[in-house]
Structure 1
């Protein structure tokens, strides 16, 4: 579908008096919350638009706060806004999906893959101003056992990388350099390989891998050089699983990914799909650690990965502008 046709068929215009219900994870510090409120007052308040900023100090309260914001938005014909990194945005989006409410984001994370992929400006001033003019477009989300993800979901080594990264961030601060250093340190340590059965389109495949990674973000997949990246726009997800290799080979695979050449590696299995079922060969009920958009939890196998049957309606720039803004 051309960008013009997409606008004509899919875009939802936001009422000029729609209030914004903004849910923000305050874990990064009260100073960031104060700065956010100052910009919201200037950009939204200055334009005569009503908003409510709901700071969440306890991450355990994030989902409940998001659900309350959705209820208020439904009653007042408003927009639900997530402010934070990809994990926070996913939690707020999970509450919004299926509600009929438009969803918007104010990127405040380290990598911001979701917002960048949709051309939303990284600067808080610019992304706040966008709320006043943007229309809502349907965007695809992934689901694993009822848990939504905007960017990716994974099991195996990748959740361990995320846990270690949080420890490094608490000690040394939040930056991309710290995140990359943490990942290298984790991969140098010994780790167990997974034995998995993957059922896809009636076919069963057994693999041994350090991690199973399911991607729903074209920008992230393009950065590591996956050929499946364009297929996300056809309503598919992408599965990536490096074959069981040693630590040194694992690091070389990571370097290929950093260079945007992971698809060229012989030791990587990848394919696009609409739905897959992942089980353990023993068939016993197992509880596994899984990461969705950077947030680690435990889920029972089998794992059912699929594209959500309904889209999330995201406030974003017009298609031509969004494409130009992707970085």
Structure 2
């Protein structure tokens, strides 16, 4: 006799408050009910509710020997992953964001019905995650230009809608306005160097790195992290680098430095109490020095059957 499928406790971020989010969460419930899968959907609206709801889902999943599922964009997935990873529990994803790098990397479809079907047949697989201090990141973490770009992008999305074209145009505007230059002391693998850069970007997602054309996507696939720094260059030069990235040809470009690592310590050359950082699209403040590293244990992630079999091969 087959064992009953573990229940799913779904944290569904409906922060937009629109009918689409309500319809999507209702559709997920209908599909799971039709499949006979035990579940509970916990709807949240905004970041303030998200962590509390995830902790509640984590406790319920532990008691029922189930899994916590994050339904939302990469920021929602990050918040859920932080709680689930700390508790060493199993996590599933239903990608509902703008870019969905984490879900797409691990074979989860972006169409809602297809992602629910994939979740129903998913198997547990160990997945490497990154840490900034004790904070988990699934896709990327950064300081400098990128956090400011994200803040201005979110502001534009609230005004004009959560569409890719809005994100791209907002990012272009941020770059055209320029920004300050950081002087950072980077310590990696026993060596320390000082760099001047507009941004330090740390990637943990091979799909995102592949799309901009960086060879270190292979290192990330093998469980390391990749760092990218952008030297201070003119606005026109920055735009050219942006175009190269959009074309998937950033590797080898003048002014761009990248390297793979397992641990990177970043110190600010001027004294500051905190640094604005971005983790998977969410901006927060953290005290220096900043320590980026691969997590000492993986995230236990539910992957579509084909992806799980490939990962264990």
Distance 1:29 1:230, change over 3 A: same
Counterpart of 2:48 in structure 1 is 60
Counterpart of 2:300 in structure 1 is 313
Counterpart of 1:176 in structure 2 is 164
Q: Structure 1 stretch 201-210 or stretch 123-132: which is displaced more?
A: 123-132
Query: Using the alignment, how far apart are the partners of 1:83 and 1:308 within structure 2?
Result: 23
Per-residue deviation, 1:285 = 4.6
The answer as to 2:281 corresponding to 1:294 is: yes
TM normalised by structure 1 equals 0.91
Q: Structure 1 stretch 22-31 or stretch 162-171: which is displaced more?
A: 22-31
Where 1:255 maps in the other structure, the secondary structure is: helix
Where 1:120 maps in the other structure, the secondary structure is: coil
Distance 1:298 1:322, change over 3 A: farther
Per-residue deviation, 1:32 = 2.8
The answer as to 2:199 corresponding to 1:211 is: yes
Cα offsets for 1:185-237 (capped at 9, x unmatched):
11110311100000001100110010000000000000001010011122200
**Structure 1: which 5+ runs fail to align?**
1-13
Question: Could you tell me whether the CA contact under 8 Å between 2:203 and 2:227 is conserved in 1?
Answer: yes
Pairs within 5 Å for 1:266-305: 266-282=254-270, 284-305=271-292
Per-residue deviation, 1:41 = 3.0
The answer as to 2:125 corresponding to 1:134 is: no
Per-residue deviation, 1:38 = 2.7
> 1:117 aligned to 86, 105, 117, which one?
105
Q: CA RMSD in A?
A: 1.7
Where 2:15 maps in the other structure, the secondary structure is: helix
The answer as to 2:11 corresponding to 1:23 is: yes
Give every structure 1 segment of 4 or more consecutive aligned residues whose post-TM-superposition deviation is greater than 3 Å: 318-323
Instruction: Give the total of aligned pairs.
Output: 309
The answer as to 2:138 corresponding to 1:150 is: yes
Q: Structure 1 stretch 165-174 or stretch 269-278: which is displaced more?
A: 165-174
Where 1:174 maps in the other structure, the secondary structure is: coil
Question: Could you tell me whether the CA contact under 8 Å between 1:98 and 1:310 is conserved in 2?
Answer: no
**Structure 2: which 5+ runs fail to align?**
none
Question: Could you tell me whether the CA contact under 8 Å between 1:118 and 1:322 is conserved in 2?
Answer: no
Question: Could you tell me whether the CA contact under 8 Å between 2:124 and 2:308 is conserved in 1?
Answer: no
Distance 1:191 1:79, change over 3 A: same
Per-residue deviation, 1:47 = 1.5
> 1:35 aligned to 6, 20, 23, which one?
23
